[in-house]
Amino acid sequence: MNIATREAYGEALKELVSNENVVVLDADLAKATKSIEFKKVAPERFFDMGISEADMIGTAAGLATCGKIPFATTFAMFGAGRAFEQIRNSVAYPNLNVKIAVTHAGVTVGEDGGSHQAIEDISLMRGIPNMVVINPADAVEAKKAVHAAVEYYGPMYIRFGRAATPVIHNEDYEFKIGKGEVLREGKDVLIVATGIMVSKSLEAAEILSKENIEATVVNISTIKPLDTDLIVSLANKIGKVVTAEEHSIIGGLGSAVAEVLSEQCPTKLKRIGISDMFGQSGTPEALLEYYGLTVNKIVEEVKSIY
């Protein structure tokens, strides 16, 4: 079953309607981001801010000072990019309880092209003090991450996708901020993945197993704070690491893992992601193939390090 994580975001917002402190803001993209689902059930707590992301973040900060829990929603490119200064200075600097919930991240935005494909957003957000950065692997995790965001006090950036992707979790899955998840155990290589690359890593592990290469697959949905204990313990035991993400390899999951390993556990490492280039227009499938965000690429890189 394939479900877009943005769809799960809309469903989660509907489930939060009973919490009167939850408010939702959107930058004229509610139908696309699915925040419109909250408007349907609580129109008095939904605010369309127009095409004005900076204003939206400032307004969300103000609402947070009054005890509200604002979810500020737009496309990832505009949320992390256009509103960066407001996120840094008006939300993170005073450590306000604002959730920046963005959709249409990565190259799977597809035909909208490179101008709308946020592949630097994790890098931008993880560099901001006080910011928690979450990139769910599937719709189940996305919904649980939204619920967890309400219980957590402080700035948070949650990244959702446009394209439908495989659901890998059961409904009883327990999401915890800052904790990685071991999905498969193997002695030969450690694959650390995030977002849509988690399901692809599981597929790759099955192929590798048929060639007598057993992979441990870890889902890192919280990029910051990173589960360093889990990564270091597994890297120490296994000795070979491959990271996979739908994001630039500069500043994203691969960089975060490399930073930890270089300081605590020097290890052979390969990073799969987008290599210092912009996206372009095309179908999601064609773009994933072009940028090497595929099951076959994971298999290839594992073999190269093995």
Element (H, E) at 236: helix 228-238
Do the domain assignments include residue 176? no
DSSP assignment of 25-39 equals EESS-HHHHSTHHHH
pLDDT of residue 258: 98
Q: Does residue 258 sit in the same domain as residue 142? A: no
Number of domains present in the structure of the chain? 2
Catalytic residue, from 53, 120, 141, 301: name it: 53
Rounded to whole angstroms, how far apart are CA atoms 274 and 6?
Answer: 22
Structure tokens, 66 = 């009054």
**Residue listed under structure tokens 């769910």:** 136
Q: Does residue 26 sit in the same domain as residue 126? A: yes
Successive 10-residue mean pLDDT values, the chain, 306 residues: 96 97 98 98 97 97 98 98 97 98 96 94 98 98 98 98 96 96 98 98 98 98 98 97 98 98 96 96 96 98 92
pLDDT of residue 154: 98
Do the domain assignments include residue 206? yes
pLDDT of residue 8: 98
**Residue listed under structure tokens 């469903």:** 11
Q: Does residue 101 sit in the same domain as residue 192? A: no
Residue 206 known to be catalytic: no
Structure tokens, 3 = 């479900």
Q: Does residue 161 sit in the same domain as residue 298? A: no
Range of the domain at 223: 181-305
Do the domain assignments include residue 171? no
Do the domain assignments include residue 257? yes
Q: Does residue 108 sit in the same domain as residue 193? A: no
